[in-house]
Structure 1
Amino acid sequence: MSSLNHSQFIWNVADVLRGTYKQHQYGQIILPFTVLFRLDATLAPTKEAVVKAAEGYQLDDVPLAMLASQAEHHYSFYNLSRHNLKTITNDPDTLAINLRDYINRFSANVRDIFEKYKFEDTVAELESHDLLFQVMQHFARVDLHPDRVSNEQMGNIFEELIRKFAEASNETAGEHFTPREVIELMVTLLLADDEDLRTDYIVREVYDPTAGTGGMLSVAEEKIKAINPNADVILLGQELNPESYAICKADMVVKGQEVDSIVLGNTLTAPAFEGRTFHFGLSNPPFGVDWKTAKAFVEDEHKSMGFHGRFGAGLPRVSDGSLLFLQHLIAKLREPGWGSDGVPQVGGRAAIVLNGSPLFTGGAGSGESNIRKWVLDHDYLEAIIGLPTDMFYNTGISTYIWVLNKQKKAERKGKIQLIDATDMFEKMRKSVGSKRKRLSAEHIAEITRLFAAFDAADDKRSKVFDREEFMYRTITVERPLRLNWGFTAERVERLLASKEFGKLKLAEGEDAAVRVSLASLVESTAGAVGGDMAGVKAELLQVFADAGALVKPAALAKLVDELAERDETAEVVMKAKKPVADTALRDTENVPWGEDIHEYLEREVKPFVPDAWIDESKTKEGAEIPFTRHFYEYVPPRSLEEIDRDLNEALGRIKKRLEEVQA
């Protein structure tokens, strides 16, 4: 039976639940029962020997070393119940009691899985509706033994069930897993340059901070083992969603991974595996999801730990936490050098899936730009692969794989490779959520070839850049403030209506006297402008003095400003012998990293505005990766003659059909 057929048969238990449970509740029952029957089938061959070997020991005190059969299969869990699910199902009268006992006789690491599912509550509710026996009977007809259903197939079954659950619940299935072929591409790219992978008895640790149901970890193990069956592959991950965590952990313990290899929790606020770094990292963090709930913790780590923590490079806007996961993943990769045991240590590599936003969102000096520049400065970014749209189950947006490396090969140092695979896909016969396209094995092979070829690749699909080409400086271009002053009716009216004049709180007589004097000035000057600021200021001061009103210098200066207007022909306003900048004319320019900012000003700006200068105190460094721009190909518009011809043909067809209708 195929993975799809297995998952469909399992999901058909919904026929038993229908009427009693709502559709969105099916998954909360189906998923834990699937995990339970998988574990039971996995333990079946060793069950008798384990129970016998554990006699005399308390449940959680059994040394795994005593369980030879478990050690042989590399299982780090066991069940000491004398029952199995088949014998339990054969006795309907004591079914619920025996099932609870069976669950509670698992080792602690597996009991944790069912606690996260609140499985005892599920059993009690099914029993109260007289459905428990029917559900158990249904699952008993599925053989999930690893000899019949491989770990890869089981992963596919879980993913298909979660997708169905998500659709029934109107949730986003893509938050829980990544399309299998995307994972295969990511892992293939990671392993492409690991020349030591074929070494006998080599150890490789693979880490996923957003593990979901464990698909990335499983594929990584499969591919590493395919290259080197003797490799010791250690899989570790963290997952926020309790149900995905439970499935992932169940899958890992069946694979023989350590009890604590999968951790439940928020990677941003409660990171697991403190102090550890890994050979490989894989991640598909949620796209465009805010990090408000983690804001206080993340900001505190950023401020208090700086580059000794994970987020020293900067913080993105709170509406999208993708670049936080990127920094976290980089922090968990091994540094090249020498290990504590004196053995040379190769730098870690990672692949992470992100949407387009982290490539360019945020200008120079923003959190996003600072993070990108930090990544480029440290030469961590090896390549970015643009994927087709409609590749993921819960979104049709463009996505990109970032390949990170802490120890690039000599020819790749200081270089970034961009690979455009946006048109590499085959259409699916049937859409799955938003997923309408998939990568074939041939597409994965071609992308890997382009990646390996590096600068010898097809430049229509693959381009190599110096990292500095994605860096720039944003300069602030200032122009001088040129003003004229005068007592015109409009300016005086503006002065009298200003907040600053209102703050003076003049007495009734003072206010009237000021207004009369200002009206006289308007009349006597006939609205003339062009006077200097000092003269106008002196006259205004005299107006207030004649009215008996006291005005502080700061307030007077603001009132004088109301009597000024910009004038390109006027003299430049000076302060401390320096021209005052006109904020209304202020502009910014992005200067390529390798270019002198003053030379740029002379060439690109001053021919058009000769009086411009750079305020160097405002210069900011930035970085962005305009992926699409580098692969854009101009397509000239059709000629007017061609458009006219098509319109005439269309009008002719319409006219002919109208005539046929009228006839």
Structure 2
Amino acid sequence: MTNFGEKINFIWNIANLLRGPYKKEYYGDVILPMAVLRRFDCLLADTKEEVLEKAEEVDIDKILNRITGHKFNNTSIYDFEKLLDDPDNIAENLRDYIRGFTPNIREIMENFNFDKEITKLADNNLLYLVIKEFNKIDLHPDKVDNQEMGYIFEELIRRFSENAEAGDHYTPREVIRLMVNLLLTGEEDELTDPGNITTVGDFACGTGGMLSEMTKHIKDLNPDAQVEVFGQEINPQSYAICKSDILIKGQNADNIVLGNSFTDDGHRGLEVRYGIMNPPFGVSWRKYSKEVKEEHKELGFNGRFGAGTPRTSDGSLLFLQHLISKMKDDEQGSRIAIVFNGSPLFTGDAGSGESEIRRWIIENDLLEGIVALPENLFYNTGIATYIWILSNRKNDDLERGPIRKDKIQLVDATDFYEDMRKSLGEKRHEITEEQIDEITRIYGDFKENEYSKIFDKEEFGYLKVRIERPLKLNFKITEERIENIYSENTFNKLFDEEEYQKLSKLAEAPEFSAKKQKKLDKLEEGKELQEKILTRLRENTSDKLYKNREEFKEALKEILGDLDLKRSLFKAVYNGLSERDETADYCMKGGKKQHDTDLRDYERIDFSQKVEGYNQDYSDFVEGEKENITAYFEREVKPHVPEAWVDYSYTRVGYEIPFTRYFYEFEELEPSSKIKEEIEEIESEIQGLMKQVLELGDSSGV
């Protein structure tokens, strides 16, 4: 086997041996840990005899690791070849082989939960066959380098997880390369410094593809650079593969931790120079909401979620805040890149958790740019995706490059793709190397063109202002309006016919409780009160129309006064007898015009309209802001609704990024005359075809 595709197909075909005892979606439970074991087996093959000889003299892993050249070794007498010599005891010998590894490898196999699979394979007479087939493939580094091995792992995972939930996304390699390019663009001088030590973090690291690509890119720029990677992953199997990959590359596998980033930060206090992440899209964090909200409340900005919490149905912006919390707060600072779907751009109204998180990020000048990717790039979803790039060290020195301080760049790369010859799940498009380079250049140039737009950060902020209109009602006691009283909740709740009938049937039973009897009595009282109210009103029907609420309330008290109604019930009665009337008097409350909630509206005042008196802290409602809102209201609203007013107490700050709006190109519709001509041409063609059909029928004698 000389190429990547042949190796993948060979390993994939081994999975066919599992058909029957295993369902297809569980093939990976065997094939992935076996591929990892075979890789370790090949890595240690050259030093196997020397390690066994030395292990008889001394049991010190450091010495044995020095022999292997890796941070692990195996002191078992077995390897894949020797396991095949004893088919009858292959299960126990395989366990002995795994026990012979150093603790770091044993922990990896435990997270695969592979011991259970050994038993199942042995019980179904498959273990020998699977080991025999894997022994045929040489995964020694001389044959398969670390990068290609990473590709093999990721392709196997992709194939085994094609039926995964939409939120769980294996990240295509070209998307990772683009993210890395965008993240490191303009960083070349720093990364090529002699003795450079670079820290990289991915706290939803999956199998470690992003960490691997970051390491490779930095090493390509500076072969002598030292790259320290840190990761956290919640899925034990993905964690095991990632840790295997890190070990094989000679990096510190202890920096990869297993666990939930939201509830158990495995890298508390860590800061990295670069962060990169593709968290699951639109995944609920409801199960962890208690811990997250407690951290937000108790620690604020001393914790990870100080900017706020989004709705529990989507944890994307929690992942982003977690990643931001790992940024270095020094002169160099940090840069991070993260992949999202469209939701974090605009979900959430002004004042919502999502909006407040966007507001904190943008007002603190952390958002550097967003790149819109083509659709159908991911294997399990075809939705639109976006790469966010953030930095806490935006350039403000022209000599160092384009000045990005207080600016946000949007890049539309949705047309940068090629159709794949064969679709892989939902993935029908791919980004070529040339297109990756072009997108990176567009972003790095920081110039406006058809694909790139640059804005002041205030462009995405706005004030949401509540506009009220007066409540104006007329009142009349007619049969039609009396029926409307039933639509008032307070009146309607006095009596529930269904509940009354249910309790009445049970009332004669011996076990009928006093509590239920009390409820039945209350319903009967409610029914009686309803009937009294309706009877009084029907006795006083009239064509008289009242246009003043206070006047009508006095008249209604004359009719219902002796019934001693509660205020809420009295209100329900007169509301049921009302109708909106622009010619009626204002309904007053506390000496002020009462607003009509059904006519309430909201205005959006964008910060790009240069809101005066804009208070960055929003701790108080500043007078300058109020004056600006008033000016906007007088100019844009009052001419159309003269009786409206602004409820200044409500004003909210909002932030959203309506990405597609900035790249929308209006296409003028064809004139109706041209459309009419085209329709007439089509009709003429149809008539001609019909005529030919009829002539053909006549000539054939039909």
TM over 0.5: yes
Give the residue type in structure 2 aligned to 1:189. L
> Is the contact between residue 208 and residue 282 of structure 1 (CA under 8 Å) also seen in structure 2?
yes
1:76 CA displacement: 2.1
Q: 1:109 aligns with which of 97, 104, 116?
A: 104
Distance 1:391 1:334 in 2: 32
SS at match of 1:311: coil
Give the alignment partner of residue 644 of structure 1, picking from 654, 669, 679.
679
Q: 1:258 to 1:575 in 2, by over 3 A?
A: same
| 1:261 to partner: Cα distance | 1.8
SS at match of 1:236: strand
Give the secondary structure class of the aligned counterpart of 1:529: coil
Amino acid in the other structure paired with 1:348 = S
Contact 1:471 1:624 in 2 (8 A): yes
Among 352, 365, 377, the alignment partner of 2:363 is 377
Task: Give the corresponding residue for 2:451.
Answer: 461
The one-letter code sitting in structure 1 at the alignment partner of 2:205 is A
Where do 1:15-26 residues align within 5 Å?
Answer: 15-26=16-27
Instruction: Give the deviation of 1:250 after TM superposition.
Output: 0.6
Higher mean displacement: 154-163 or 394-403: 154-163
Q: Superposed, which structure 2 residues align to 1:140-179 within 5 Å? A: 140-167=135-162, 170-172=163-165, 175=168, 177-179=170-172
Say whether the 8 Å CA contact 2:169–2:380 is kept in structure 1.
no
Q: CA deviation at 1:189?
A: 0.8
Please state if 1:190 is matched with 2:183: yes
Find the counterpart in structure 2 of residue 64 from structure 1.
62
1:322 Cα deviation from its structure 2 partner: 1.3
Task: Give the distance between the partners of 2:116 and 2:421, measured in 1 at CA.
Answer: 40
Asked if 1:351 is matched to 2:337, the reply is yes
SS of alignment partner, residue 231 of structure 2: strand
Partner in structure 2 of residue 340 of structure 1: none
Residue in 1 that maps onto 2:417 = 425
Residue aligned with 1:417, SS: strand
1:182 CA drift (Å): 0.5
SS in 1 for 2:232: strand
Q: Which residue is equivalent to 2:583? A: 569
Alignment partners' CA distance in 1, 2:690 and 2:288:
64
Q: Hey, what's the Cα distance between the residues in 1 that align with 2:95 and 2:528?
A: 92
Matched, 1:204 2:198: yes
1:383 Cα deviation after fit:
0.8
Counterpart pick for 1:601 among 621, 633, 646 = 633
Matches within 5 A, 1:31-46: 31-46=32-47
Alpha-carbon shift at residue 63 of structure 1 (Å)? 5.0
Shift in alpha-carbon separation, 1:51–1:233, aligned structure 2, 3 A: farther
Match of 1:612 in 2: 644
Q: CA RMSD in A?
A: 2.6
For residue 47 of structure 1, what is the amino acid of its counterpart?
K
Pairing 1:470–2:484 present: no
Shift in Å, 1:216: 0.6
Deviation at 1:377, TM superposition (A): 1.1
Q: Hey, what's the Cα distance between the residues in 2 that align with 1:327 and 1:551?
A: 54
Counterpart CA distance in 1 for 2:529 and 2:77 is: 102
Q: Which residue of 2 aligns with 1:341?
A: none
Aligned counterpart, 1:481: 471
Cα deviation per residue 1:171-221 (whole Å; 9 max; x = unaligned)?
359835210010000001111122310011111111111111111111110
CA distance in 2, matches of 1:88, 1:150: 25
The alpha-carbon distance between structure 1 residues 610 and 28, as it changes in their structure 2 partners (threshold 3 A), is same
**What TM-score do you get using the length of structure 1 for normalisation?**
0.90
Indicate whether 1:543 and 2:559 are aligned. Answer: yes
Task: Indicate the larger mover: 85-94 or 219-228.
Answer: 85-94
Q: Relative to structure 1, is the Cα distance of residues 652 and 398 closer, same or farther in structure 2, using a 3 angstrom cutoff?
A: farther
Tell me if structure 1 keeps the 8 A contact 2:169–2:378. Answer: no
Aligned mate of 2:432, from 416, 440, 459: 440
Cα distance between partner residues in 2 of 1:637 and 1:93: 78
Structure 2 counterpart of 1:332, one-letter code: K
* Separation in structure 2 between the aligned mates of residue 283 and residue 123 of structure 1, nearest angstrom: 34
Relative to structure 1, the CA distance from residue 55 to residue 404 in structure 2 (aligned partners, 3 Å threshold; closer, same or farther) is farther
Instruction: Give the secondary-structure state (helix, strand or coil) at the position aligned to 1:401.
Output: strand
1:522 aligns with 541
Contact 1:89 1:133 in 2 (8 A): yes
How many angstroms apart in 2 are the aligned matches of 1:661 and 1:399? Answer: 56
Call closer, same or farther: CA 1:461–1:642 in 2, change over 3 Å: farther
| Alignment partners' CA distance in 1, 2:160 and 2:4 | 16
Looking at structure 2, the residues matched to 577 and 84 of structure 1 have their Cα atoms a distance apart, in angstroms, of: 91
Per-residue deviation at 1:224?
0.3
State how far apart, in whole Å, the 1-side matches of 2:489 and 2:169 are.
57
Distance 1:367 1:247 in 2: 35
Residue from 645, 648, 656 that aligns with 1:624: 656
**Aligned counterpart, 2:31:** 30
Residue 193 of structure 1 aligns to which amino acid in structure 2? G
Other-structure match for 2:78: 83
Give matches, 1:315-330, under 5 Å.
315-330=309-324
Cα displacement (A) at 1:533:
2.7
CA drift at 1:38: 0.4
For residue 153 of structure 1, give the secondary structure of its aligned residue in structure 2.
Answer: helix
**Deviation string for 1:353-412 (max 9, x for gaps)?**
111111111111121111111111111111111111110111111111111111111111
Q: How far apart are residue 151 of structure 1 and its match?
A: 1.2
Deviation at residue 654 of structure 1 after TM alignment: 4.8
| Cα drift, residue 9 of structure 1 | 0.5
| Separation in structure 2 between the aligned mates of residue 173 and residue 495 of structure 1, nearest angstrom | 49
**Partners in 2 of 1:496 and 1:388 — Cα distance?**
55
Give aligned pairs, total. Answer: 640
Q: Which amino acid aligns with 1:622?
A: G
Q: Partners in 2 of 1:430 and 1:552 — Cα distance? A: 73
Secondary structure of 1:347's partner?
coil
Corresponding residue for residue 291 of structure 2 = 297
Contact 2:548 2:586 (C-alpha < 8 Å) held by counterparts? no
Gaps of 5+ in 1: 338-345
**Which one-letter code corresponds to 2:411 in the other structure?**
I
- Helix, strand or coil for the counterpart of 1:530? coil
Structure 1 equivalent of residue 349 of structure 2? 363
Aligned to 1:584: 598
Q: Give distance in 1, aligned partners of 2:23 and 2:74.
A: 33
CA distance, structure 2, for counterparts of residue 601 and residue 127 of structure 1: 78
Instruction: Give distance in 2, aligned partners of 1:506 and 1:262.
Output: 69
Task: Verify the 8 A CA contact 1:4 1:160 in the aligned structure 2.
Answer: no
Alpha-carbon distance in structure 2 between the residues aligned to 1:660 and 1:40: 80
SS of residue matched to 2:428: strand
Q: How does 1:484-523 map to 2 (within 5 A)?
A: 484-495=474-485, 500=490, 503=494, 518-523=537-542
Distance, in Å, in 2 between the alignment partners of 1:252 and 1:279 is 19
> Are 1:279 and 2:293 matched, yes or no?
no
Spell out the pairing of 1:210-225 with structure 2 (5 A cutoff).
210-225=204-219
**Does the aligned pair in 1 maintain the 2:191–2:221 contact within 8 Å?**
yes
**TM-score (ref. length: structure 2):** 0.86
Contact preservation (8 Å) 1:285, 1:325: yes
Q: 1:427 corresponds to which letter in structure 2?
A: D
CA distance in 1, matches of 2:655, 2:361: 10
Partner Cα separation in structure 1 for residue 583 and residue 437 of structure 2? 67
